[in-house]
Amino acid sequence: MSNLCVVGAQWGDEGKGKVIHFLSREAEYICRYQGGNNAGHTVVIGEDKFVLHLVPSGIIYPGKKCIIGNGVVINPQALLDEIKYLREKGVDVTGRLFISDMAHLIFPYHSMLDEAKERRKGKIGTTKRGIGPAYMDKVDRVGIRVCDLMDKDIFAHKLKDTLTMRNALLEKVYQRPGLKYKDLYLKYCDYAEQLRPYVTNTSIMVNEVMKKNKKVLLEGAQGVLLDVDFGTYPYVTSSNPSAGGACVGLGIGPNKIDKILGIIKAYVTRVGDGPFPTRLTSSLEEKIREKGAEYGATTKRPRRVGWFDAVMVKHSVRVSGIDSLAVMKLDVLDDLDKIKICTGYKYKNKIINEYPSQTVILEECKPCYEEWEGWKTSTVKIKKYQDLPSKAKKYLSRIKQLAGVPLSLISVGADKDATILLNKNFFK
Ligand code: IMP
């Protein structure tokens, strides 16, 4: 079986949690490669619902092993809370969860800096989980890693240094009180002992597993349009959700990834600020939001909703080398009379077919739409592609044509079973 990388191809919240859980049955290891507890991956199993932020959703499958890679930024309290939450729901992670010793840690000063910065003009609409400031410390080479935390002396030394700098930033730039070293040190030493059993060099581990031909799923968080390089900068997250992020975020070579699956919704949503050319401004936005339960899994913020944007998905397919797409939440469009697809943008009397690099240009872009007839039939119980209404099939085949890659999975409901497989071989 091959190693598959699962990438969000829009602005996150595409339904990666469901797909990862669905595909976990065939995988032995599920590895998260970037982001932090800004993510929210939802899995519905019958009446039961799991919302996970850090631990890969494959953990819900008994016996599956999960890795939190070096590219992830870890808030220890959030991780310990999640382990407890899983245990309370009957999922024991012992011997199945592994944390990279090279992953960077999130500290309270990161969340405080995130929050303080968001209060200023020109905000990004972050989740305020301290993700950006934690990656800032990593790149600034003053970050504190899991391996540092495992050694009290090294940790003490590094925490003193970094805290002095970050307290200065909090106090001088943001007029906020800084944090006390002793309290923070003791709290994190306590976390260290609780996390120690899970800590290892996960790059060695994942490479060994791959050598033995065990199937590995690589799990991205957020989406390509939130990628710090390829997203709508600066309205992005601070990591690389694109497939390339899987290599550096796990310590594997690009030749170890066999296939890349992009996840898209049958429409588009965005939580947080930033340009959104196909956003709906009519009451239809609210209608789709309610039907699709489009509220942030982490922050509960209402998501903005818009029509499917083929320019965006083509961009994601290119920068992530997506081989095939999974289309989620098709059923949310079941009642609509008309459905639109954006095929290009109009900018200053010109038609643009490629996603513009400059956000100021994107802000001025007006979508060029094709209008499709709605199928006005419930798709929620459909199990085979051929049983979908013909108008839904037409809509899907247009998405496939515009994206330039085949579709391999269609989701028509939150439950694992509400899934139509178009190409079983893709997942082998
Ligand atoms: P941050 O990742 O908290 O720094 O937020 C940066 C941007 O990414 C904001 O627009 C957030 O709303 C967005 N974002 C972060 N994580 C997610 C996610 O899991 N789904 C959707 N948007 C996200």
What pLDDT shows up at residue 281? 87
The label of the residue with tokens 């119980």 reads 381
pLDDT number for residue 45: 86
In order along its 428 residues, the chain shows pLDDT tens digits of: 589 999 999 999 999 999 999 999 999 999 999 999 999 888 888 889 999 999 999 999 999 999 999 999 999 999 999 999 999 999 999 999 999 999 999 999 999 999 999 998 779 999 999 999 999 999 999 999 999 999 999 999 999 999 999 999 999 999 999 999 999 999 999 999 999 999 999 999 999 999 999 999 999 999 999 999 999 999 999 999 999 999 999 999 999 999 999 999 999 999 989 999 999 988 999 999 999 999 988 888 999 999 999 999 999 999 999 999 999 999 999 999 999 999 999 999 999 999 999 999 999 999 999 999 999 999 999 999 999 999 999 999 999 999 999 999 999 998 888 999 999 999 98
- Is 265-421 in the same CATH topology as 3-98+201-259? no
Measured in Å, residue 108 CA sits from the centre of ligand 1 at 18
What is the Å distance from ligand 1's center to 124 Cα? 9
Task: Write the residue with the smallest CA distance to atom 15 of ligand 1.
Answer: 38
For residue 68, the model assigns a pLDDT of 98
Tokens of 61: 């499958």
142 vs 163: CA distance, rounded Å = 10
Name the catalytic one among 21, 41, 53, 104.
41
Q: Please report the atom of ligand 1 found closest to the CA of residue 299.
A: 12
Q: Which residues form the pocket of ligand 1, taking CB atoms under 6 Å from any ligand atom?
A: 11-13, 38-40, 124-127, 129, 131-132, 221-222, 226, 235, 237-238, 271-272
Atom of ligand 1 nearest to the CA of 274: 10
Q: How far apart are CA 44 and CA 38, in angstroms?
A: 20
104 labelled catalytic: no
**Domain 104-195: what homologous superfamily?**
Adenylosuccinate Synthetase, subunit A, domain 2 (1.10.300.10)
Nearest ligand 1 atom, CA 127: 3
Best residue among 114, 131, 138, 237 to mutate for probing ligand 1, ranked by most atoms within 8 Å of CB: 237
Instruction: Reply yes or no on domain 265-421 having CATH 3.90.170.10.
Output: yes
Please say if 13 is a catalytic residue. yes
| 118 closest CA partner among 343, 272, 296 | 272
pTM to 2 decimals? Answer: 0.97
Q: How many angstroms is it from 294 CA to the middle of ligand 1? A: 14
Q: Are the CB atoms for 189 and 196 separated by under 8 Å?
A: no
Domain ranges of the chain: 3-98+201-259, 104-195, 265-421
351 forms bridges with which residues in the sheet? 346
pLDDT digits (tens, 9 = 90+) for 150-193: 999 999 999 999 999 999 999 999 999 999 999 999 999 999 99
3-state secondary structure (DSSP) of residue 382? coil
Contacts of 196 (CB under 8 A, 6+ apart): 150
- Please count the residues of the chain: 428
Per-residue model confidence (pLDDT) at position 317: 98
Residue of 60, 15, 405 whose CA lies nearest to 222 = 15
Task: From the CA of 8, give the closest atom in ligand 1.
Answer: 20
CATH class of the domain comprising 3-98+201-259: alpha beta
φ and ψ at residue 115, rounded to 5 degrees: -65, -45
Among protein residues, the one whose CA lies closest to atom 20 of ligand 1: 12
Question: What spacing in Å lies between the alpha carbon of 131 and ligand 1's midpoint?
Answer: 9
Report how far ligand 1's centroid is from the alpha carbon of 236 (Å): 7
